[in-house]
Chain A
């Protein structure tokens, strides 16, 4: 029984010492990324005066540097979102009283259209760093952050709430400190969900980075060097070729981003899956494999990993932590009552202030206009979801049932979901003008251009996860096609479909702001609707009406989520359980 495995412990004597080709590639990759990040970061803190902005060049040669700066903003926002996630969601999961406030708040924050944040925060950020590019940069980063943070925080919170009881008890019985517990249990357990949501966030971020770089709120006109500004200028100049270049550059950028960041992360996070069964499809990444096999990378990252490991394992007990035993704390109900009282008072005060403000700035007619526009957009979203479902559900099922095809189509669907569809808008607008189509009808599909893919790839995932025995049973009983769809396949993929449709409809609402009112040079197309309303008011800098439009949209989104999607979700959960 007592055998020693010294060679395993000392790090492996069999490892090659001579640098191999893998080391070379790995080194180049690391150096390249470091240098590029450095360049991007330096540009961000340069001097900035709103009146003397560097003009955006439409030359394709300028694009790589624009793409780099856009990617930098995305990364910065992602880091900010992670920090937000770790603090906000942890607080919500650990404190019952904080949870009462934080989670509904998150629900609302999530439903506020992302451009809404931009119009309200840009002035603040610009005034924070007068004369420095950091101000508008921060405004743009914040806007991207708002498109990424909420669902990541939700996912982390959900994970924290669903930590398996036995793992929780094990960590408690080993007397792990909160710090150890966080890094050893909570973060790893939440990792797969968090990475998935980071990828989703990224897609949302790409969409809005285009809008966040060319900021135009009232008389504030800012064009930060980046792909977004490039496209905005191309639209203003009616330069279809430049739009084409931007699309190409973005395609390359997203592919690189995917290969360099997300694929390695997903492959790495595979070990965090909580199920103890072997997965059928193990995610792989060339880049990760390269780094894992490169002995040089191992030597360099080894000590860093050890150090991180040591930090995560440090007991780090917070001295003022309340004692476990319920020895002296005041009655729970009393504290609860006080807390409720405080919240009610705060809500009443804010409500009163808002009402005062609204009464002075808005008329009843404004409310009617906003509501009418809201309904119009609501019907657009509903029709689009129905149409997209009719198209993509059968296709998704057909693909998902063929494993070979799934392997090929699934990455494409995910790429399409990540691609910022608003880059394609100018092309669509050009066509509408060219063929003199009605903007009210033909601008509508733009809303779902980017988000319909969520329906597709979720349905594909559902169909490929459909139990083989149930399919075989249906085949052997020769179930007829109509019944096969109604009784076998649709109920089987329903939970997946609902997940996809929720994302698609949320995305469509968000996209309405950029797709209901578009321009090509000096020509403006307006489809009317809540999105167009918000866009117009933003352009005019009419803050009370921006707020009204955003509030209307939030209420509509929350109402659909609560009344429609949550019901469907619960139904899906109940119906697909066997016990």
Chain B
């Protein structure tokens, strides 16, 4: 659908965004983003949480001003929320004190229409989106799926040219999300919507492949466009198609190979102290390893294939894969994950043995863990404040990442009984007896 000759609805040129940290120094969130959305296109922004994709969507919607760079909406600079751009929110953002009808009419407030005309258009939009009969209900009387339908009706009531969707289905259960996706795609394909282009943010790879004509994969720290993947499959798309799977696997491969690369690079510098860890429960790591060790995978799986049955989205899956990779219980290659010999042992052993193995690998492959333990061993009283390690980490990582890493290491260290941590006093210690 996306032909190059079509006019551009919105264009982001060299957009950068930095938020001010509490200390005053800027924290870059987006770096040098170039995006152009053309007429008739659904563009997907895919990335992990923290990749700045929601910020990017808000910049396109005029809700946030970029630090540098420019946003052109229909060839004119965008100075704030503009007529013809509407947003569907992840959390629905419905006004609880307004009925469905009043919520939808809210989308027309700025147009200053006569009351009767506003009501007629709101009703038409409600009908179109399948909410007829619910117009006098309050949002709290509706299920999540119906609430998001109100969100859609409110967004399209003003006949927007550009529709921005911020993870519109992620707060819904699997079945509801699927129904709503299909309904939306039907309206879009049958061209019943006045909308000319859609920008959708998601962290669900299959959703992106199902809906989008083009997918931009965002990398983190700061957010940048890591890859662009055109999806030329005809609509309606079939999740079971081999070509569908090929694209899903390709995206997994892009995401994981970048992650594995980054882990490898960080391991080489600063004695590995700058390794970024993502907090993930050891139980999930263990559970994932067990599944991976068993048939049909037998220690080797495409991430795209194992994610589905385990109902894991990339926000859950990637931290687990990263933890296994860092601890050398598994290896990431392309879009696949393969258990190492130690990984097989880890997956098959009982509680005590697993704990011992985890502890061994933690000390060997996570220099930070070994460092904390060493400091505690050497200190009199065997205590050390969290701040101390925070400072050390902030030499190599930004504050958010340092915090994430510390939270991960606290969880892992507690599980491995390598050290203890007291959150009230924010100190590490060696009180492993539980007293």
Contact = CB atoms under 8 A, between A and B. Distances in A.
Interface in A3-36: 3-5, 8-9
Interface in A277-329: 277-278, 306, 310, 313, 315, 323-326
Contacts of A177: 110
B93 A5 contact: no
Interface string A162-194: 001011011111111100100011001101000
Contacts of B123: 4-5, 9
Contacts of B110: 174-177, 180, 315
A276 interface: yes
B226 interface: no
B140 A167 contact: no
A272 interface: yes
A5 B58 CA distance: 36
Contacts of A4: 123, 127
Given A170-B89, A324-B80, A185 B95 contact: yes
A2 interface: yes
Contacts of B79: 323-325
A170 B89 CA distance: 8
A274 interface: yes
A176 B96 contact: no
Q: Which of A172, A272, A323 has the most CB of B within 10 A?
A: A172
Contacts of A324: 65, 79-80
Contacts of B410: none
Contacts of A185: 95
Contact of B140 (A176, A189, A278): A278
B96 A273 contact: yes
Interface in B122-169: 123, 127-128, 130, 132-133, 135-136, 138-141, 147, 158
Interface in A191-228: 191
Given A191-B97, A271-B96, A325-B79, A184 B109 contact: yes
A303 B133 CA distance: 24
B112 interface: yes
A253 B89 CA distance: 48
A1 interface: yes
Contacts of B98: 184, 188
A278 B143 CA distance: 12
A193 B83 CA distance: 34
B264 interface: no
Interface string A350-369: 00000000000000000000
Contacts of B58: 169
Interface string B99-110: 000000011011
Nearest to B112: A315
A172 B95 contact: no
B63 interface: yes
A224 to B, nearest CB: 39
Contact of A169 (B87, B127, B133): B87
Interface residues of B, number: 44
B91 A188 contact: no
B159 to A, nearest CB: 13
Nearest to B83: A175
A50 B410 CA distance: 76
Contact of B135 (A2, A8, A275): A8
B81 interface: yes
B286 interface: no
B83 A169 contact: no
A172 B89 contact: no
Contact of A277 (B91, B127, B128, B140): B140
A145 to B, nearest CB: 28
A176 B158 CA distance: 13
A508 B47 CA distance: 57
Contacts of B106: 170-171, 174, 176, 184
B65 A169 contact: no
B199 interface: no
Nearest to A279: B140
Contact of A188 (B86, B89, B95, B135): B95
B107 A174 contact: yes
B266 interface: no
A575 B186 CA distance: 49
Contacts of B80: 175, 324-325
A184 B58 CA distance: 22
Interface in B48-94: 58, 61-63, 65, 79-83, 85-87, 89-94
A173 B96 contact: no
B135 A169 contact: no
Contacts of B158: 174
B132 A5 contact: yes
A304 to B, nearest CB: 15
Contacts of A325: 65, 79-80
Contacts of B138: 271
B240 interface: no
B115 interface: yes
Nearest to A180: B109
B140 A276 contact: yes
Contacts of B83: 175
B155 to A, nearest CB: 9
A310 B82 CA distance: 23
Name the residue among A166, A188, A310 with the largest chain B CB count within 10 angstroms: A166
B383 interface: no
B95 A184 contact: yes
B97 A272 contact: yes
B140 A173 contact: no
Contact of B93 (A167, A275, A310, A326): A167
A2 B192 CA distance: 12
A313 B109 contact: yes
A3 B135 CA distance: 12
A431 B296 CA distance: 88
A177 B110 CA distance: 8
Contacts of B127: 1-4
B135 A170 contact: no
B89 A166 contact: yes
B87 A5 contact: no
Nearest to B65: A325
Given A5-B132, A271-B138, A172 B97 contact: no
B132 A1 contact: yes
Contacts of A1: 127-128, 130, 132
B93 A176 contact: no
A391 B343 CA distance: 61
A326 B311 CA distance: 45
Nearest to B114: A310
B119 interface: yes
Nearest to A313: B109
A166 B63 contact: no
Given A271-B96, A306-B115, A315-B110, A173 B87 contact: yes
Contacts of A175: 80-83, 110
Among B62, B79, B96, which residue has the most Cβ atoms of chain A within 10 A?
A: B96
A313 B119 CA distance: 13
Contact of A170 (B65, B85, B93, B130): B93
B115 A169 contact: no
Contacts of B107: 174
B136 A8 contact: yes
28 contacts: A2-B127, A2-B128, A3-B133, A4-B123, A5-B132, A5-B135, A8-B135, A9-B119, A164-B91, A170-B93, A172-B81, A173-B85, A174-B81, A174-B109, A175-B83, A175-B110, A176-B106, A176-B110, A177-B110, A180-B110, A184-B106, A189-B97, A271-B97, A278-B141, A310-B115, A315-B109, A315-B110, A324-B80
State the 9 A-B residue pairs at the shortest beta-carbon distance, nearest first: A166-B93, A175-B110, A170-B93, A272-B97, A188-B97, A166-B91, A276-B140, A173-B87, A324-B80
Interface of A: 1-5, 8-9, 164, 166-167, 169-177, 180, 184-185, 188-189, 191, 271-278, 306, 310, 313, 315, 323-326
Given A169-B89, A271-B97, A278-B141, 6 more contacts: A1-B127, A4-B123, A169-B63, A173-B63, A180-B110, A324-B80
